[in-house]
Chain A
Amino acid sequence: MSEIRNILFSGVGGQGILLASELTAAALLQAGYDVKKSEVHGMAQRGGSVTAQLRYGERVYSPLIDPGAADIQMAFEMMEAVRYLPYLNADSTVIVNTQKILPPSVATGQAVYPENVLDELIKRDIRVIGVDAFTIAKDAGEVRTANVALVGALSVHLDVEAELFESIIEQRVPQRFLEENMKAFAGGRAAGGE
């Protein structure tokens, strides 16, 4: 069976994970891969921890990533990069938005946000690439383009040409924010290497 690659998107409901995973899938489809993506809707979406699972290859059957089988995790928040550790393996790459979003227990002072939480990945020799998507998006002129900046960082690690992503972004984002989105994508690509 030909190789299938697995990308796990993780983050907090409302961060734009859906759009980011859609753009990635569209680029992979355009590049000729079969793609399946699985999401969970409903109660899980209300500000909770969310994931989208994307699998691509010559022919994809299952829509779900097995434990230990994620090749790339695209994490939109630092703690959410660590929460799905059982999906990772020693060869996984984790691209992480270096942002903290406080869960309710931390916001109300009942729990503490773990310090240097990414060390949990680093000490297991998992490759971690931090991306300050908020700053990239701000520099691009629109803070809401942070998710597109993260797609830029992710795109460096996929066998898909940047132009293909750019044409997809052009089709999918509101035209009045096109320039900001393109800048954010380019900024993400520059930051996503190492």
Chain B
Amino acid sequence: MNARLGNNLTWMSGNEAIALGAYEAGVAVASGYPGTPSTEIMEYLSAYDSVYTEWAPNEKVGLEVAIGASFAGGRALATMKHVGLNVAADPLFTASYTGGKGGIVVLTADDPDMHSSQNEQDNRNYALAAKIPMLEPSDPAEAKEFLKRAFELGEELDTPILLRITTRIAHVKGVVQHGEVVPPAERPDLEKHPEKFVMLPAMARKRRVVVEERMTRCKEIAESADFNVIEDGDRKRGFITSGVSYLYVKEAFPEAAVLKLGMCWPLPEKKIREFAASVEELFVVEELDPFLETQLKAMGLDCHGKDLIPAIGELNTAVVRKSIDPERAPKDLYEPVPLPPRPPNMCAGCPHRGIFFTLSRMKNVFVSGDIGCYTLGFLPPLNALDSTVCMGASIPMAHGMVKAMGEGSHNRVVSVIGDSTFVHSGITGLINSVYNGSAATLIILDNRITAMTGQQPNPSSGSTIKGEAAQELDLVALCQACGVKHVQVLDPHDVPECRKVIKAEVERDEMSVIIAQAPCVLLPELKLRKPVSYYTNIDNCVGCTSCIRLGCPAISWTAFAEGEAEARGYKKSQKGYSRIDEVLCNDCGQCASLCKFHAITRGEPRR
């Protein structure tokens, strides 16, 4: 066999392929907010000098930047995860009316099975609702091709295009072919087209008609486009499918005829009817919602779909096979063995831990949480996060709790939010809390970075996506400008100080903000510093478990065997001792700040 690579073939992830596609398509401006599974697209794209890339504070801003770039004549890309499109839905629905000048592609990365998300939503529904064509690739190679084609189609029809991928495209690696680089058509410049760019009611009513005409034209294109292909095969069973589900159908039923829909909105009705008429039994295989199935049924076509295929979670070949042919279900599978779970955990040295440890001791307080690494504060042994809904919700939800409970809310509600999430959509909530007289304490967990998605810079980091210096957002001044009278900065690694400050602020009858400031331990500059670790003086350890209750991955408990405590010179009642793994320790000192017995000491710098 010959090597698969070379000759312009590279093995890469779907996200890397999309970045390559954007480069080859001559994208002028790309803006996005990090969100699994979409994040790496912008990171890979930022390596191409010919494309302007940026991290926007949220997805709405990112899409609006893209619309502006398009109005000026440049090709523009906005990237986001599925829930990000909820945030960007406002500009999306009206960009559908305006179209642009340069092409606009809105990339949505859905996360079936919620590997790293708070809900499981099917963003194909946005294509229907916003009247925007949607392309849906099946693998990395198609993702790159479809992105380039999306720009051509969008410019032909004067519409934004939605490109939908899922986790199993974004984070799957496959062989991708490099292609021609499209040179930018002309130097972007502004022209005034108020009939198209100013969506006042009078103009919007005219554009509303244009939208319908465009979708009719797009349906005609869908009939003949090679996005939508019939793969001939046994016509006893025919499959209509799209996205990653196509791959599972090909493995589960390799002999069957398949209509693969690369454009999942609008649908090629004639092609679908012809295909349906040519097969004895029709199956629609799609992940999540019965999106295609509902449309087929509206066409009056008889088909199987969610009566057999699960609507919850990811599909795979085995699920598709056994849903349709139960007798072909894998037999004699091993049952899982009960094992201690291994959930994700905050890193050793994570600055969030000191705050959540403190909150875990305040059992009467409800912690209104948000989205980020700190959502892990929910897990044992900290168990110190009581609600999470969506980006930015922590602050308004705390306000709602205060207003619902009235005087009974005193001392009861704290909200926590990360720096990136605060900038994303927390600021307006804070303004509301001050304006409408909330008294809940807000803790901003400021680790200078968007950590959960892999350390992307944000407006509070002082650097851009390309690592260039940028104006750093002053969170203290911002909170003061919102009208908060009590703003203070706290070192979260000093646990006794955290307890003192948080207790005092929760007591207050006015809105107050604590900015817990310490950098994420995964920042490259922190990883490079000469590490110093703490270690336990086992002789001094009385087994009080104060440090254990931090839940730090570097600290573990060793239980004494019967009689061992006495034999080793400890009190008979001591049950064991704690030990710090010096390799894992990241030198935060939270455990030492808690230990009352001088059993934890900072060591010498490691080699």
Q: Smallest CB-CB separation from A65: which chain B residue?
A: B316
Which residue of B has the minimal Cβ distance to A88? B334
B145-183 residues with Cβ-Cβ distance < 8 A to A are 167-168, 171-175
Min CB distance, A33 to chain B, in Å?
7
Q: Across the two chains, which residue of chain A brings its CB closest to B319?
A: A66
Known A-B contacts A41-B116, A41-B171, A120-B337; the reply to A29 vs B556 at CB < 8 A is no
**Assembly CA distance A86 to B576 (angstroms):** 36
A147 to B116, CA, bound (A): 26
Judge if B330 is at the interface, Cβ distance under 8 Å: yes
Given contacts A25-B11, A108-B557, contact A45 B1 (CB under 8 A): no
By a CB distance below 8 angstroms, the chain A residues around B555 are 107
Hey, what's the 0/1 contact readout for A44-56 against B, CB within 8 Å counting as 1? 1111110000000
Is B478 part of the contact surface with A, judged by Cβ < 8 Å?
no
Which residues in B have their C-beta under 8 angstroms from that of A108?
A: 381, 548-549, 551, 556-557
* Shortest CB distance A35–B (Å): 7
Q: Is the CB of B341 within 8 A of A103?
A: yes
Contacting pair A85 B334 (CB below 8 A): yes
Contact status B548-A85, CB under 8 Å: no
B4 touches A32 (CB 8 A): yes
Known A67-B318, A108-B548; contact A42-B247, beta-carbon cutoff 8 A: no
Contacts of A107 in B (CB 8 A): 548, 553, 555-557
Given known pairs A61-B250, A88-B334, A104-B380, the reply for A47 and B553 (CB within 8 Å) is: yes
- Please give the number of chain B residues whose Cβ is less than 8 angstroms from any Cβ of chain A in the complex: 65
CB distance from A75 to the nearest CB of B (A): 13
Contact B336 A86 (CB under 8 A): yes
Cα distance, A36 to B242, chains bound together (Å): 19
Count of A residues near B, CB < 8 Å?
59
The answer to the question of A127 belonging to the interface, with a C-beta cut-off of 8 Å to chain B, is: no
A46 to chain B: which residues have CB within 8 Å?
344-347, 373, 376
Is A82 at the interface (CB under 8 A from chain B)? Answer: yes
Residues 12-53 of chain A: 1 if any B CB is under 8 Å from the residue's CB, otherwise 0? 110000000000011001111111111111111111110000
Report Cα–Cα, A106/B337, bound state, in Å: 17
Partner of B168, one of A38, A45, A79, A113: A38
Contact B330 A66 (CB under 8 A): yes
B2 part of interface (Cβ distance < 8 Å): yes
Instruction: Select which of A63, A66, A85, A102 is within 8 A of B337 by beta carbon.
Output: A85
B544, CB-defined interface residue at 8 Å = no
How far is it, in angstroms, between the C-alpha of A44 and the C-alpha of B549 when the chains are bound?
22
Cα A145 to Cα B37 with chains together (Å): 29
The residues of A that contact B342 with a CB separation of less than 8 Å are 12, 47-49, 79-80, 83, 103-104
Question: Which A residues lie at the B interface, using CB under 8 A?
Answer: 1, 12-13, 25-26, 29-49, 60-64, 66-69, 79-80, 82-83, 85-86, 88-89, 102-114, 117, 120, 124
3 shortest interchain CB distances as A-B pairs: A32-B1, A42-B116, A42-B36
